[in-house]
Amino acid sequence: MRARLRHPLIAVSASVALSVPWLLVWATGSVHALSTGAVVVVSGLAVLGASFLLAWGAETAEKDVPRAFALAVLAVLAVAPEYAVDALYAWTAGANVGTPRGAEAANLAVANMTGANRILIGIGWSAIAIFTVYKARTSHDPSVVNRPGRWRDAVTLDRDISTEISFLLVATAYAFFVPFSSGTFAPGGSAGGIGILDTVVLVGLYALYIGVIIRGDVDEHEQQVGVPAYFQAYPRRRRITTVLVLFAYSGLLILTAVEPFAHGLEELGQAVGIPPFFMIQWIAPLASESPELIVVAYLVNKARSTAGFNALISSKLNQWTLLIGTLAVVYSIAAGQVATLPFDGKQVAEIWITAAQSFFAIAILSNFEISIREAVALLVLFISQVVAEFVLIRTLSEGLAEAYSLWLLDAYTVVYLALGLYLFVRRRGEVRALLGRTAITVREAVGGRGSDPEGAD
């Protein structure tokens, strides 16, 4: 009886059951009949169930495709709601060009995008690193290194992740120039924009990345247990069908449930006095990032922290390329012409601090590990900036709050850049090895031959 209760399909059925109430509400169009609290609960449970189904699908797929590609698909599906929210704002902006509503929507698109990216690193990378080290006390995760001294324990990463880190570094370097690339940025800091050039560069960069990793060999996948092990025992055709069904079903749940979940949280936040713009930049992205964070926490809980961090880095890469790049496309379609999504000086500062945070985070990973001390630094910098800005918004007049917010963002940008430059200079040998490994991987993917540079391994 106990063995029957532990059958893997019991867990799958339980996850599906979490989603059934939401599917019934969504399919019958009765979401509006529920209270805000009920919408948050029902849609939140669906997101939870979808996250587990998505993780199982990705783990099962590792038997048939390179793990990096399986995790890239997982990352795209997990952050799909973020694309949907930003696309909605970009469309509204394009459909209302030259109006206050259009300008506000364009700024919200950028604010939501930068908020999501900073949450992914500031909370995602840092909290998962801390959780991994904590969990290793009982799970004996081989990726965790214990060192003497305060907060010196670290999570080591697979060196095959060098491709993702290198592509993310290139995207981050380009992001600093996004406000200039459209030609609309004024030296005085008044305006910027995301144009078609950004789309070509960033989407092209992500397409190149996918082209590289999909040509990789299928790894000797880690021995699975539970649901993934059960599905991997299926014959190949049935196994692939199962993976596709899991991806499709969880993707449907995430796309339909996360937006109501985020909006419900926004309404609850506004009811207690949190400013709407602040909610859209921070609370809504936090809700839309929840499937990704749940999936990674699940992987860490199984002592698969390497796969978890690979998923987080892949998510950051696709958000930092595809998410930014597609905004100009959606805006142009709505506007009926090739156009540049405009934003104001505040959003210029938001893009720069987001790029600076990414720069610092990549510098941390340049030696293929993240220590508790580094994770705490990421978390404290992120939390302190958000809290400080919230205090400014709540205590000062609108004009003063905006001025001080810009200074605050600029100050944190400088701090992130200084810390990142320090680490890159200190670890220049590791950075050369990282870029060398990536160069070899890219050459092999396009059919060339290369040899390991000294120190690449």
pLDDT, one tens digit per residue, over 438-448 is 988 888 877 65
**pLDDT tier, 450 (very low <50, low <70, confident <90, very high otherwise):** very low
Rounded to the nearest 10 degrees, the angle between the axes of helix 305-318 and helix 162-175 is 30
pLDDT at 191 over 70: no
Percent of the chain with pLDDT over 70: 86
Kindly report the CATH number that applies to the domain delimited by 2-426.
Answer: 1.20.1420.30
For 139-154, letters b (16+ CB in 10 Å) and e give bebebbeeeeeeeebb
Question: How is residue 230 written in tokens?
Answer: 């059960």
Predicted confidence (pLDDT) at residue 452 exceeds the cutoff of 70: no
Do 56 and 250 touch, CB atoms closer than 8 A? no
pLDDT at residue 455 in the model: 45
* Top-confidence residue, 13 or 450: 13
The whole-number pLDDT of residue 215 equals 73
Confidence of residue 43 (pLDDT cuts 50, 70, 90): confident
pLDDT in tens, 213-230: 777 555 555 555 567 778
pLDDT at 220: 54
The lowest-confidence range among 265-274, 318-327, 347-356 is: 265-274
CA dist., res. 42 & res. 55, Å (int): 20
258 pLDDT exceeds 90? no
Q: Which residue has the higher pLDDT, 375 or 55?
A: 375
* Helix or strand holding residue 193 (H, E): strand 191-194
